[in-house]
Chain A
Amino acid sequence: MSDDLDLMLSRPLDEPDEGAFSTRVLARLRQMQARDDRIEIAAWVLAACCILAILPMTGAGRMIALSASQLATSIPFALGITLLFLMRTFWETWAEG
């Protein structure tokens, strides 16, 4: 029985007909590649958009922050703003008067 069983077990498996199996696999493969390509393109577009959107804002933000800190410590600027404020107040008072 044991020898018979080993012979039976050793019989090669019946391979199914090829049919359209390979064609289906390759079709799925192309679909997969097309999807991967679309994802890659989308990722590049997104990255480009992020760079375009963030980089100029970062530059502008830095410029504004730098200017603000310089102006905040500038005595002539502070005197100028005070003078403008006083002149505006004077004109408003005189115009109403």
Chain B
Amino acid sequence: MSDSDRLAQSAAQGNVAAFAELVRLHQGKLRAFLRRMARGDAALADDLAQEAFLEAYRKIAQFRGEGSFASWLAQIGYSRYLMYARKHKLESIDESIEQSHGTEAALHTKLDLEAALARIHPAKRAALTLCFAEGYSHEEAARIMNIPLGTLKSHVLRGREEVRTMLTAWKETP
């Protein structure tokens, strides 16, 4: 049992200090994940992360320790992001990202990657981020995103292909 699991058990018994420690330990990773999901909108990502932690506190008794606390938290955070995206129709701003990219001639590779990730479907963005940057297995990522394993693998393959196509096209653009 990890430290986070022990802290979660303690928090489930009403120990607020234990939950405070969980927030301190996991806030960076969750906020970073949500920032990528929110395409760099730090304020939105922090709001979503805050809501995710509050929801995690309310539901802490439901954490059974079947997966890691981090993956359970990421599941709540991703769910929060999806609810927000559905409510505010976030994908409609994809076009502005596409248009703005052409005006920046020489972007750093990392920024190019972020721009490419920002243009793909959120589910593919989440799948790539969870499986590559966050290092989750396909099974864990599928559980976090609450989708079948086959769908997750499809998102990873197609998402990577779309990003690769975009990066290649941008490199070839003078």
* Chain A interface residues (CB < 8 Å from chain B): 1-2, 5-6, 8-16, 18, 21-22, 24-26, 28-29, 32-33
* Residue B57 lies at the interface, judged by CB distance under 8 Å to chain A: yes
* Chain B interface residues (CB < 8 Å from chain A): 16, 19-20, 23-24, 27-29, 31-33, 35-36, 42, 46, 49-50, 53-54, 57, 109-110, 113, 128-129, 132-135, 160, 163-164, 167-168
The 22 listed contacts between A and B (C-beta, < 8 Å) are A2-B164, A5-B164, A6-B132, A9-B113, A9-B132, A11-B110, A12-B133, A13-B32, A13-B35, A16-B32, A18-B27, A18-B28, A21-B27, A21-B31, A25-B27, A25-B50, A25-B53, A25-B54, A26-B16, A26-B23, A28-B54, A33-B16
Q: Which residue of chain A lies nearest to B20 when distances are taken between CB atoms in the complex?
A: A26
Q: Which residue of chain A lies nearest to B117 when distances are taken between CB atoms in the complex?
A: A9
Residues of B within 8 A of A13 (CB): 29, 32-33, 35-36, 129, 133-134
Query: Complex: how many Å from CA A32 to CA B54?
Result: 9
Contact B133 A11 (CB under 8 A): yes
Q: Which residue of chain A lies nearest to B35 when distances are taken between CB atoms in the complex?
A: A16
Contact B32 A5 (CB under 8 A): no
Query: Complex: how many Å from CA A8 to CA B101?
Result: 19
The verdict on A10 contacting B50 (CB below 8 Å), with A21-B31, A26-B20, A29-B16 known, is no
Residues of B within 8 A of A28 (CB): 50, 54
Q: Which residue of chain B lies nearest to A9 when distances are taken between CB atoms in the complex?
A: B132
Q: Which of B29, B54, B132 is the most central at the interface, judged by chain A CB atoms within 10 Å of its CB? A: B132
Query: Least Cβ distance of A57 to chain B in Å?
Result: 38
Query: Least Cβ distance of A5 to chain B in Å?
Result: 5
Contact B113 A8 (CB under 8 A): yes
Query: Least Cβ distance of A50 to chain B in Å?
Result: 28
Contact B32 A15 (CB under 8 A): yes
